[in-house]
Structure 1
């Protein structure tokens, strides 16, 4: 019986040094669903989270405390967290945009939050209504209060490789923003290729701007089909946390024909084949994404889901 029938890739370790284990930061429940035009019932979201945990994923970004006015899909954040069956050994971080979002997160009893920064002036203005410098004044009280309350804080940096209004983004500029977030108290920094234009060489250059990789994660979109190549480049640099979305859920509203987030199944297939541990049951994950695709009424964009689900 071949590997396709088994649902498992052949394991052939890389000749390059790679992490022995990779932590997958699953963003499907939040980033993957937030731009869906039709409201997904909270019961479906809760089952999605339960199925993802059953597959072995241990970090599930559950929702966001952004204003329901801006993201109606996540207006049920409190209801979702109240109904969540939190598993031992699984983290359920939430995105918070500001102090009001932090207030809601604290009231809901969360233990992990994430903030969302911009590496470019134009995106900071459009997404945060601030300049790159001004965004830190907004984040400082959020991070300080969260850390004082015992919460872990992750920092996202968007537009790390290219900006649809400004073009290519200098690596030193991105690293400057990232280092300021770490100095504020973020324990981890996720470097985001928001419009999916990065190449492997750019990834290596940007990671090289940081003193070490222990606090770094990567978040790639697959607009140009480069997400897996860019992920492998990051792994070869020593990064061991990768963001992805089950079934490839999620789009990018800032680039035409963007295919959205790196699919978790595609990532797991590659890592399994390299002999890198993830703790994820690929067949269970594929079944979950096929189930969610049915709920959303359209096929999954994940190549691995389509290959294995038939």
Structure 2
């Protein structure tokens, strides 16, 4: 009989990953209320924003204001893709920094015009400096299972990239099914190997729900011993480099499943749905999570 953890940490990524590629420009005050409602629902770790070029990601052009005005969660994380982004993030008071690299060379070249090795090489001095300053560093590993250009990713390639980040001293690996193609067996196998390889690093699973298998993948990851998951309220998000990739798995649906399994998250589903209700009128596609539909119908 498999065992499941008694407690799981949810890292809410809706304000950053969920909104970063949203077509509608969401006003700063709306984002702030969304963030505050999520924090009040019991979220203790959250991706707030990105310090990226507003030319390429206009949705995140208010990153400095978000950092200045937000009621911060216990661990509030900002994405910074390079040395300049890290500098701006720290000037804004960021204490927890996320960087990202895809396992797939082609995905990286399409995304940031660098190979995987070139991306790690560029980030290495940035990460080492952050760790000297005792900053919490989260490494986001994209295309860990499948790539929209290269297809299936070999497990060893994902582990090797993770090993490079661990050698640099990162605190957390967020390992992502970026285009939502993974199945539960693949999830169990990869996260079992990752736990065996990196027992002293925080391991977080990040699933998209393109084929409606995210909850099944989370359950398989729980069986592999994973107790940290990235989720986005309302199932917001998507990958601009992957045609057809839908949003992140919905926070409210994940918390509901964990509640039913008697696994504690400290998060209130109804309060998350209230946060979703705040952001829903401002995004370009309908909210399709099961728990939010029940909430809209007054059934929770």
Is TM more than 0.5 here? yes
50, 55, 78: which one pairs with 1:64? 50
| 1:34 counterpart = 2:20 | yes
Structure 1 partner of 2:41: 55
Distance in 2 (CA, whole Å) between partners of 1:124 and 1:290 is 34
Aligned mates of 1:111, 1:103 — CA distance in 2: 12
* 4+ residue runs over 4 A deviation: none
Greater displacement, 252-261 / 269-278: 252-261
Correspondence for 1:275 among 246, 262, 280: 262
- TM-superposed CA distance for 1:297, in Å, is 6.3
Deviation at 1:203, TM superposition (A): 1.0
Instruction: Report 1:106-117 matches (<5 A).
Output: 106-117=90-101
Q: Give the Cα–Cα distance (whole angstroms) in 1 for the partners of residues 100 and 170 of structure 2.
A: 11
What CA deviation, in whole Å up to 9, does each residue of 1:122-180 have, x standing for no partner? 01211122112111111112111211222100001101111111111100111100111
Q: Is the 8 A contact 2:42 2:266 kept in 1?
A: yes
**Cα-Cα RMSD:** 1.4
Structure 1 regions of 5+ residues with no counterpart? 1-14
For residue 227 of structure 1, what is the aligned residue in structure 2? Answer: 214
Give the secondary-structure state (helix, strand or coil) at the position aligned to 2:75: coil
TM-score (norm. length: structure 2): 0.94
The question of whether the paired residues in 2 share the 8 Å contact of 1:218 and 1:242 is answered with yes
| Aligned residue among 259, 273, 278 for 1:291 | 278
How many residues get paired? 294
State the TM-score, normalized to the length of structure 1.
0.91
Contact 1:172 1:209 in 2 (8 A): no
Which of 156, 163, 178 pairs up with 2:162?
A: 178
1:153 aligned counterpart, secondary structure: strand
Q: Deviations over 1:187-211 (max 9, x none)?
A: 1101100100000111122123332
Gaps of 5+ in 2: none
